[in-house]
Structure 1
Amino acid sequence: MSGAAAAQEVEQDPVVAVEEPVGEVDEIVVTGTGTNISGVKPVGSEAVVMDREAILATGRNNVAEIVRTLPQLQNLGFDEAATGANAHAGGNGNRGTTLNLRGIGSNATLILVDGHRVAPSGAANSFTDAVQVPVAALERVEVVADGASAIYGSDAISGVVNYVLRKKMNGIELGGRYNFSKYNDEYALSATGGTSWSIGGREGSIIVAYEHSERTAIARGKVPYLRQDLRRYGGADFRIVGNVASPGNPGNIVVPSGPGGAPGAPNPAFPEAGGYTYYAIPAGTTGIPSVGSLVPNTANLVDRADYEDLLPQSSRDQVVAYLNQELTDTISLYNQTFYNERELSTRTFLPNNSSASSFDITIQPGTPYYISGLPNVAPGQSYVVQYNLAEHATDAPDFININPDKTLSTTTGLRARVAGDWEGELYYTYGQNRTCGVCYIGNFVNGESDSAFNAAVNAGLINPYSVTPLTRSQLDLVLGTNFQYAQNYFHDSVLKFNGSLFDLPGGTVKAAFGGEYTFTINRLQNGASRGPRNILDTENDANSRRSRTQWAAFGEVYVPLVGAEMDVPLVQELIVNAAVRYDHYSDFGDTVNPKIGIGWKVNRSLALRGSWGTSFRAPGMPELEPGLFSVAAQIPFFPNNSGRSDIDLIAGQPFSNVLLRLGGNPELKAEKGTTWSIGGDFTPEFLPGLRVSATYYNIEYKDQILGPPAGNYLANPANASTYSQFIIPVPARAGCVNGSPSTYDPSLAPFLENFLYGGASITDPCGIRVVLDGRYQNVASAVQNGIDVQASYSVDTGIGTVLIGGNFTKILKNEQRQAPGLPAFDALDRINYPISFRARGNLGYVRGPFSANLFVNHVGGYLNDQPLTIRNVIQPNSEVPSWTTFDLNLGLSFGEDARWSFMRGTRLSATIQNLFDAKPPIVLSGGSAIDMRNANPYGPIVQLALTKTFR
């Protein structure tokens, strides 16, 4: 069906399937890594398939965007867009993309290419990037929305997404597409070619696809919803919040307004400043301003969105090749290889990639630019100047974070008939991913207190108050490099056999079994220009290598208990399928996962199905390894309202001197899931062309790995009780000497070892009175259940074929616990959590070469309970309305029977996303007026596409 995504039954390993004509793919199965019984359908699980025609009709530019049109996918996870105010994109340093079935976590969705795993991506995180292959090479997408670790191993807790590549083609296909909106544009050029041969009666074939794409950036400042000043939408002016501000040129002096250098009560004359006092430096300043010339209770500000990109500039090259060759009558050889090279360039406001603060300079007493007599600044006390480096560095490179990313995967295998109908398969996959999560090359300035910039200011070499641009010699003092380079290597070998065992009255019992061995390497290399001399330092950064070995044994059996020939009332067919898989990991242990599926075909119109199984996710290596990612930071004035008498307060005020520890934890274990589902497929004989499928599912997910909210441990007595195991008081210790670890309290010492970042903040270890352990822990759990419904209907009207289709998901329950002992909370229809109702429907018309499809996309409403304070007033929760958009696709597709020869093999299409320019709902949160997870601000996006096949 043109443009319709329909549920389909399944049959054969797509690795060996030839390219089918669009619309004729009736039975699909995700296979590859794991068990596989040839010639039988999967039993019990829900499957959603998008064929090539449906893929092209979406008008999307990459495979991840295509899959996300399915309602079963929630847009909760990583994306290229930096919706926060920094280029690091909330920990997604290399700006990768993930898929999230059911919204329970991106790492719970397994992504395969032709049934094979690919090398993980990421630097501080480890995940499978969802953009692996070009659209030109894609035959179809298969989604199994069911737990499947018994078949595929780790990660398949909520399901599997499999990109099936085109396998066979004789000729050349050239294509191009161009997308544009009011904010940016993108184009892609592709070429696909293939041929078949016969040598000595041995058949062979090859197909190669190449695609190159370019995309311009989208500046955050051009999108009103993403500016810092959101007062036009009833929001706050986030250009200044407390001691965090986006300074203009000149900048501001900011000092705490409370005693002892602590924040004070909010200033009613300048509420945005919170517990701090601002002094705006006078316009046009070139020297040192006097205390009297400073303007209190005001600030020089810019909107940092004008300096940043939402969506980076992108350049991508992708190549896919598939070779198949018969070697003998019983043995065949195949190779599948794909290569993906991408480079993103993202403008940033701050050269240290920070979203937590402005570029702050600490002015030390006794230095040339120190101003004596500032109110609330005690004699001998330092203070901070907020500085707009971008406006001063006019002779420097732009502050651009470069994210190169290269992925290579190649699988070579042999298939052989062993005995009878038994077949064996042996294959080996090698994959590698190389990426740079943070790459400021020659345009980085570190913002730490001992940075070269602070040193240059306090040495009298740079005037922090002056509006005069920095000279080239001044820039040479402070500009440097910062990189976070990650390499992931993947070796996977699989041997498996499948065939018939014996016959039953209902049919032939079949089985499959095999084993798998995997070796994975994760390397991370960090370096930055640090210290007052601006020296490129790599010794004190992550230069780690972690490896993992894994082996598995698996088996599956297919048992047809009742067949049509048995003439059993109300049971035309009854099939049981059972699988089990054992996995052993070198770094956390063993896991066993079974699955059972039942298929009951009542008659020719009605089929029922059900499944039950357990699944798991192995901890990512960066989650286990502090050497890949870890932070230990001292925070001298951390809010403490815990009421705990064993944690010292500072001068009786609600603050404590805290060591915050984050990152890798070698004690982690596997995450676990239990999934069951029941459903049915209705294809009535009395109404040909109609198909309706419905599935009820239930997922229990436990031991989820989470960085507990360490920032909230001391917020109140209840939190302090819940997270008590992660709160470690540090008593004052007589004889403690800073710089001498042997004198530190034993409860503190282990947390000051084996970490990567934040060391410059630990200036007074002996003053630390509590450790907040926020490292990754197996603490979270979730329970979700819901209903999926898919329907499609086609009818020939005599003047063309009318197509009607729909696919919706209704989540009925999604409860989560953030830690053992905490009550479950309703994590449904709330911002940053799954939306209960998502739907996509289509109305299509086909006549001859012409096709038209109108799609409707619907995201249900939800609650915005994101904490929000405007001018020190806590805002009430608000209801976010639903968002409905329409997409229109028009196409002309000419076959070999076209009247004019030059039109044969030509396909033209035009697609408009958000046809009626539906405005996104206003969602006020910590720095924007839009929820980019459930809407977008782009307005209509137009795609024009042309392909031509030469045979």
Structure 2
Amino acid sequence: MQTKIVATAVAALLSAAAPAAAQVAPAATNYAVPAGPLGEGLSLFAAQSGLQILYPAGLVADRRNLAVNGRFTAEEALGRLLAGSGLAYRRSRSDTFVIYDPRAVRTEADDTPTIVDDVVVTGSYLAGSGSSPVKVVGRDALDRKGRATFAEALVAMPQNFGGAANEMSAGNGADRSSANIGYATGVNLRGLGPDATLVLVNGRRVAGTGIAGDFADISNLPTSAIEKVDVLLDGASALYGSDAVGGVVNVILRKDMDGMETRLRTGGTSDGGAAEALASHTLGKRWDGGSFLLSYEYYRRGEIRSGQREATANADLRRFGGSDRREIYAAPGNIMRFDTARGALVPAWAIPEGQNGVGLSAGDFDADAVNLSNQNEGRWSLPRQTRHSAYAAVRQAIAGGFEVDADLRLSDRSFDMRGYADIALMTVTADNPYFVSPDGSTSSDIAYSFINDLGAGRDSGRNRSLGGSAGISGEVAGWNVAAYATAAREIVTTRAWNRVNQTFLAEALGAEPDDPSTPFSTIKDGFFNPYGAPAQNNRAVLDFIGSAYSTSRGESTVLSTNLKADGSLFELPGGPLLMAAGLDFRREKFESQATNFYFGVSPTIGRTIINERDIAAAFIELRAPFVAAHNARPGLQRLELSLAGRVEHYEDIGSTANPKVGLIYAPHADLMLRASYGESYRAPSLRELNSRYQLGPTVLPYGSSNVVSIIQYGGNPDLAPETARSVTAGAVWTPAAVDGLRIETSWFRTVRRRNI
């Protein structure tokens, strides 16, 4: 019965639309295209008209369009858009316009092929606007935002949640996952996680970064090489596969130019810190049938120190109406006791201030006070970063109407950061000559901060990125076909130092006997004194206990080959039924290695762990226009249905299938309504599946006290993919009575399951 109802509804729709197909008067719609670079104007025109625009890439470069605001037919709007540009258009199909230069005279003997590009629309493999909201940020718009890099501009978007996967959240403790060890900048659309936002470059996947290699670092791309950024605000696994849960960010790089461009920028902040300098140079050359572009960019930005901002200078936030967030791990420290009622360690006596820790008596300790330490002291909120980036692209038309293209991206970014000072819950016994017990015990547990002994912890590292692709595209039997291969690699190396070695600390405290295998001796070098305020320890002691460090290296690699074709199947009342289909094959690999010297008398050097997997996928997309401009009628200006589906098989977690359906309905030329339903997923990363299972002790805060706890962590080979169901609806209103006004609204609901 359900099948019959659906078939009847579609048949009724076709019969209702068919008589209107005989109308010859084209319908008008409202356009809101600002003046600006012609390439951006054509993209907006394509999105608002739902038509496909074809043109040679070099043809629109360095040209600008006039503003088009108001109600026009598609041809009227396109004519106004191109006025004064020296270009013209012709209609090649009912839904396709070709832009050309009428002054270019070609002879019959001149059979040199030309390059023709589709207007790229993220969220669909078919040209024209789709049912999901897409925010397009063009090159001029990026410049107008006043940001030094496009990564800063994306992070500032209201659709992006800034609490995770960026250098600021990694440095100030807001990102509790500690996954962003390389101080990268990711995108977290709709707050669903940076690993649930898919980032593409020219529509192609890039290698991941972070401790698990599960999100993309957009800060490695040179801003000077970017043409535009498309932000798809909807789940899109039906088209792009894993990770496209919160949305998709597609960075479109410049394909060519003729000439040179140099950019210089310097800046700073009114409160100090973050002084920055940027220099870039881009050069390109066009020739008949091909082009080449090369771009280099240097960027350097200084740190922001916590003390340079009132909000971060002190962890006591009562001055802002908040709470006191300072810690009991202090300098001077607190002598702790175990509270049986709470089941936790709590401060019992405060070590007095203003003394050198020598000659204290039991009565000097204050049982009515608690020492608190400003853990923000000496810390930086933003790291110091230096980046070198380069991008090269070449393409050439060949016989048969085909085009070959290739591009290469290189980036080398280094960072330096000051983190929190080390803290410790240390046990001091009578073997330490400075030991004093306020209650006659033979040992004391002291909550202590090393801020005055060692200063802030240090973190430094390097992020190297390499990516490239090569492909061929053209037309076969009226269908657009494209095949390409990509390779991308991201290498992140880090070093944390100026930290406390717990084994050496126990030796320096006298809690453990002198170890002859170390160069340190308490008889020769002295004991560590934890009672001084300020600290009273010699350099030999501090160098010994502060010699801890750790290093890590993560290498993420993605290799893929892709084949895609799109074209029209047959004519519907509103235009051709379009279809796109393709195959994807991908290999993912993640290597990691770590060295730790926080415990023991020699570093623990971990073995290199290598995990990899193969992925195969097939997808299809259909777009059925039932009503368009040429057969519109009152109350039914546009009606379009889209369907998409993708099947993907991972060799380690199995297969998944994800559908998507979308609908566009325009009851009036001023108003377009759109809605979509889709299912998405995120495959667990290689590290989440395969990292070693471990147990470890730690001390965790519990209210105003601390609890000794056991943490279990590591991978789980039985993990299944995260899944999500998304419903998105919205409207676009472009009232003809107000030129240039465009109001968009969106509503979405995403339900996730099996979160990792």
Query: Matches of residues 777-792 of structure 1 in structure 2 within 5 Å?
Result: none
Q: Which amino acid aligns with 2:185?
A: T
SS in structure 2 at match of 1:67: helix
Distance (whole Å) between structure 1 residues aligned to residue 425 and residue 638 of structure 2: 72
Does the CA contact (< 8 Å) of 2:164 and 2:175 recur in 1? no
- 1:937 aligns to what? none
SS in structure 2 at match of 1:205: strand
Cα distance 1:69–1:236, how it changes in 2: closer, same or farther (>3 A)? closer
Partner of residue 399 from structure 2, selected from 328, 350, 374: 328
What is the CA-CA distance between 1:301 and the residue it aligns to? Answer: 5.6
Distance (whole Å) between structure 1 residues aligned to residue 745 and residue 354 of structure 2: 67
Q: Does 668-677 or 63-72 show the bigger shift?
A: 63-72
- 1:224 aligns to what? 310
Distance (whole Å) between structure 2 residues aligned to residue 688 and residue 393 of structure 1: 64
- 2:276 aligns to what? 186
SS in structure 1 at match of 2:204: coil
Deviation string 1:170-227 (CA, Å, 9 cap, x unpaired) is 11111112222112221211111111123xxxx1111222221111111112222221
What is the CA-CA distance between 1:312 and the residue it aligns to? Answer: 1.0
Query: Matches of residues 82-481 of structure 1 in structure 2 within 5 Å?
Result: 82=169, 90-91=177-178, 92-124=180-212, 126-181=214-269, 182-184=271-273, 185-198=275-288, 203-226=289-312, 227-240=314-327, 244-247=328-331, 251-256=332-337, 258=339, 263=344, 275-280=346-351, 283-285=354-356, 287=358, 289-298=360-369, 302-351=373-422, 358-363=423-428, 365=429, 367-369=431-433, 371=435, 373-375=437-439, 377=441, 379=442, 382-393=443-454, 399-419=457-477, 421-436=478-493, 438-440=494-496, 443-446=498-501, 448=502, 451-458=503-510, 459=513, 460=522, 461-465=526-530, 467-472=535-540, 475-476=543-544, 478-481=546-549
Q: Which amino acid aligns with 1:192?
A: T
Q: Does 49-58 or 598-607 show the bigger shift?
A: 598-607
Does the CA contact (< 8 Å) of 1:350 and 1:359 recur in 2? no
Cα distance 1:45–1:332, how it changes in 2: closer, same or farther (>3 A)? same
Does the CA contact (< 8 Å) of 1:496 and 1:514 recur in 2? yes
Distance (whole Å) between structure 1 residues aligned to residue 695 and residue 538 of structure 2: 34
Q: Which amino acid aligns with 1:426?
A: A
What is the CA-CA distance between 1:698 and the residue it aligns to? Answer: 3.1
Deviation string 1:225-271 (CA, Å, 9 cap, x unpaired) is 2212334334444333xxx3231xxx33512153699647xxxxxxx
The yes-or-no answer on 1:556 pairing with 2:621 is yes
Query: Matches of residues 799-814 of structure 1 in structure 2 within 5 Å?
Result: none
Does the CA contact (< 8 Å) of 1:143 and 1:162 recur in 2? yes
- 1:47 aligns to what? 134
Deviation string 1:580-608 (CA, Å, 9 cap, x unpaired) is 10011122121111112233344544433
Does the CA contact (< 8 Å) of 1:494 and 1:517 recur in 2? yes
SS in structure 2 at match of 1:147: coil
Cα distance 1:17–1:72, how it changes in 2: closer, same or farther (>3 A)? farther
Does the CA contact (< 8 Å) of 2:406 and 2:469 recur in 1? yes
Distance (whole Å) between structure 2 residues aligned to residue 457 and residue 99 of structure 1: 46
Distance (whole Å) between structure 2 residues aligned to residue 93 and residue 604 of structure 1: 51
Query: Matches of residues 748-763 of structure 1 in structure 2 within 5 Å?
Result: none
Distance (whole Å) between structure 1 residues aligned to residue 210 and residue 170 of structure 2: 18
What is the CA-CA distance between 1:386 and the residue it aligns to? Answer: 4.6
Does the CA contact (< 8 Å) of 1:290 and 1:371 recur in 2? no
Q: What is the count of residue pairs matched by the alignment?
A: 644
Q: Which has the higher helix share?
A: 2
What is the CA-CA distance between 1:696 and the residue it aligns to? Answer: 3.5
What is the CA-CA distance between 1:525 and the residue it aligns to? Answer: 0.9
Q: TM-score, normalised by structure 1?
A: 0.62
Does the CA contact (< 8 Å) of 1:43 and 1:575 recur in 2? no
Cα distance 1:29–1:246, how it changes in 2: closer, same or farther (>3 A)? farther
Q: Which amino acid aligns with 1:219?
A: R
Cα distance 1:486–1:11, how it changes in 2: closer, same or farther (>3 A)? farther
Distance (whole Å) between structure 2 residues aligned to residue 168 and residue 233 of structure 1: 52
- 1:650 aligns to what? none
Distance (whole Å) between structure 2 residues aligned to residue 15 and residue 280 of structure 1: 76
SS in structure 2 at match of 1:392: coil
Partner of residue 555 from structure 2, selected from 479, 487, 500: 487
Q: Which amino acid aligns with 1:346?
A: M
SS in structure 2 at match of 1:128: coil
What is the CA-CA distance between 1:277 and the residue it aligns to? Answer: 1.1
Distance (whole Å) between structure 2 residues aligned to residue 383 and residue 15 of structure 1: 78
In structure 1, stretches of 5+ residues that fail to align are 265-274, 352-357, 641-653, 706-951
Q: Which amino acid aligns with 2:258?
A: N
Distance (whole Å) between structure 2 residues aligned to residue 83 and residue 96 of structure 1: 9
Distance (whole Å) between structure 2 residues aligned to residue 12 and residue 524 of structure 1: 46
Query: Matches of residues 629-640 of structure 1 in structure 2 within 5 Å?
Result: 631-634=694-697
- 1:625 aligns to what? 690
Distance (whole Å) between structure 2 residues aligned to residue 636 and residue 205 of structure 1: 60
Query: Matches of residues 706-725 of structure 1 in structure 2 within 5 Å?
Result: none
Does the CA contact (< 8 Å) of 2:567 and 2:579 recur in 1? yes
Does the CA contact (< 8 Å) of 2:583 and 2:619 recur in 1? yes
In structure 2, stretches of 5+ residues that fail to align are 1-33, 68-80, 82-117, 514-521
Does the CA contact (< 8 Å) of 1:11 and 1:28 recur in 2? no
Deviation string 1:705-751 (CA, Å, 9 cap, x unpaired) is 2xxxxxxxxxxxxxxxxxxxxxxxxxxxxxxxxxxxxxxxxxxxxxx
Partner of residue 639 from structure 2, selected from 563, 574, 598: 574
- 1:502 aligns to what? 570
What is the CA-CA distance between 1:690 and the residue it aligns to? Answer: 3.1
Query: Matches of residues 843-882 of structure 1 in structure 2 within 5 Å?
Result: none
Distance (whole Å) between structure 2 residues aligned to residue 154 and residue 563 of structure 1: 33
Q: Which amino acid aligns with 2:527?
A: I
- 1:923 aligns to what? none
Q: Which amino acid aligns with 2:485?
A: Y
SS in structure 1 at match of 2:142: helix
Cα distance 1:262–1:118, how it changes in 2: closer, same or farther (>3 A)? same
Distance (whole Å) between structure 1 residues aligned to residue 596 and residue 198 of structure 2: 34
The yes-or-no answer on 1:538 pairing with 2:605 is yes
SS in structure 1 at match of 2:723: strand
Distance (whole Å) between structure 1 residues aligned to residue 53 and residue 335 of structure 2: 65
Distance (whole Å) between structure 1 residues aligned to residue 36 and residue 385 of structure 2: 28
Distance (whole Å) between structure 1 residues aligned to residue 733 and residue 174 of structure 2: 49
| RMSD after superposition | 3.5
Distance (whole Å) between structure 2 residues aligned to residue 700 and residue 14 of structure 1: 39
Does the CA contact (< 8 Å) of 1:64 and 1:131 recur in 2? yes
The yes-or-no answer on 1:73 pairing with 2:73 is no
Partner of residue 717 from structure 2, selected from 653, 666, 691: 666
SS in structure 2 at match of 1:350: coil
Distance (whole Å) between structure 2 residues aligned to residue 104 and residue 480 of structure 1: 36
Distance (whole Å) between structure 1 residues aligned to residue 730 and residue 547 of structure 2: 61
Cα distance 1:157–1:24, how it changes in 2: closer, same or farther (>3 A)? farther
SS in structure 2 at match of 1:517: strand
What is the CA-CA distance between 1:349 and the residue it aligns to? Answer: 3.7
- 1:518 aligns to what? 586
Distance (whole Å) between structure 2 residues aligned to residue 187 and residue 36 of structure 1: 39
Distance (whole Å) between structure 2 residues aligned to residue 23 and residue 147 of structure 1: 33
Q: Does 493-502 or 581-590 show the bigger shift?
A: 493-502
Distance (whole Å) between structure 1 residues aligned to residue 585 and residue 259 of structure 2: 38
Cα distance 1:326–1:457, how it changes in 2: closer, same or farther (>3 A)? same
Distance (whole Å) between structure 2 residues aligned to residue 661 and residue 392 of structure 1: 32
Does the CA contact (< 8 Å) of 1:682 and 1:692 recur in 2? yes
- 2:755 aligns to what? 704
Deviation string 1:7-33 (CA, Å, 9 cap, x unpaired) is 7446669998556546679996445xx
- 2:31 aligns to what? none
What is the CA-CA distance between 1:493 and the residue it aligns to? Answer: 1.1
Q: TM-score, normalised by structure 2?
A: 0.77
What is the CA-CA distance between 1:486 and the residue it aligns to? Answer: 1.1
